[in-house]
Amino acid sequence: MAYKTFTTAILVTGLAIGASSGALADSKPKLMMGANPKMLADTCAGCHGTDGASQGPATPTIAGLSTDYFVETMEGYANGEIPSTIMGRIAKGYNAEEFKSLAKYYGDEPFTQAKQSFDAKLVKTGAKLHDKYCEKCHAEGGTSAEDDAGVLAGQWTPYLVWQFADFNAGDRDSPKKMKKRMKKMLDKKGSASIQALLSYYASQQK
């Protein structure tokens, strides 16, 4: 499977969605010192849903993430370490305290797994690959939000495709061990392994 072609197709779709949302100008964050978390979160709701359960597909669900992961990701967007189409601009409008407050607000909401299509034939293979290469840090089949890794199970596939593309291009940094395992998996199983993982994560729709 031409992973690159698939990625490009998704990227184009993503850009089209971004361009047509028209939400950017409105969402430019204002300084809200001392604002309560609910008020801060109002800015995010247009894209990520009122409870952090995004309607996707290129916008990730942000409810139920760990505080550490949430805050580190927002910092990464703000300082440019994590590549983004939109969040870099948004994250710059908040301070560390507001990141924490938003992280806590969304962290208290449950992660809602996306209803989306997937290739049923690949799910078993994906589950095996996940166990072998990813489960150590993305525990419980990728549902766990413990520590500083993101939730993979039930996250929107197009969003995850972007992340895989960024990791593999070296545009987004991953922990050394994750990089090693990803490389090992790709060397052994090729890009089809990514398709299988994506199907496995998308198949989780409780």
Stretch in the footprint of ligand HEC (CB under 6 A) among 4-12, 31-39, 41-49, 119-127:
41-49
Nearer to ligand HEC, 7 or 59 (CB): 59
| Number of other residues whose CB lies within 10 A of the CB of residue 3 | 18
State the minimum distance, in angstroms, from the CB of residue 113 to ligand HEC.
Answer: 13
Q: How far is the CB of 5 from ligand HEC (least distance, A)?
A: 20
Distance CA 150, CA 161 (A): 14
Residue 85 interacts with ligand HEC (CB under 6 A): yes or no: yes
Other Cβ atoms within 10 Å of 73 Cβ, number: 22
Whether 52 and 62 have beta carbons less than 8 Å apart is answered as: yes
d(CA 162, CA 158): 6
Residue 10 binds ligand HEC, judged by CB under 6 A: no
Q: Residues 6 or more apart from 188 whose CB is under 8 A from it?
A: none
Distance CA(119)–CA(202), nearest Å, equals 9
Taking CB under 6 A as the binding criterion, the range among 3-11, 46-54, 108-116, 119-127 that sits at the site for ligand HEC is: 46-54
Question: Is the bond preceding residue 60 a cis peptide, omega within 30 degrees?
Answer: no
153 is an interface residue for ligand HEC by CB under 6 A: no
Q: Which of 94, 103, 101 is nearest to 29 (CA)?
A: 94
Residue 100 sits in the site that holds ligand HEC (CB under 6 A)? no
Site membership for ligand HEC, residue 53 (CB under 6 A):
no
Kindly tell me the burial class for residue 18, based on how many C-beta atoms sit within 10 Å of its own C-beta (0-12, 13-18, 19 or more).
middle
Residue 78 contacts ligand HEC per CB under 6 A: no
Q: Please report whether residue 161 would count as binding ligand HEC according to CB under 6 A.
A: no
Out of 111, 118, 133, 200, point to the residue binding ligand HEC (CB under 6 A): 133
C-alpha closest to that of 165 among 12, 30, 20, 25: 12
Contact status: 203 vs ligand HEC (CB under 6 A): no
Q: By CB under 6 A, name the binding residues for ligand HEC.
A: 21, 23-24, 27, 43-44, 46-48, 58-60, 62, 70, 72-74, 76, 82, 84-87, 90, 102, 133-134, 136-138, 148-150, 152, 155, 160, 163, 174-175, 177-178, 181-182, 185, 197
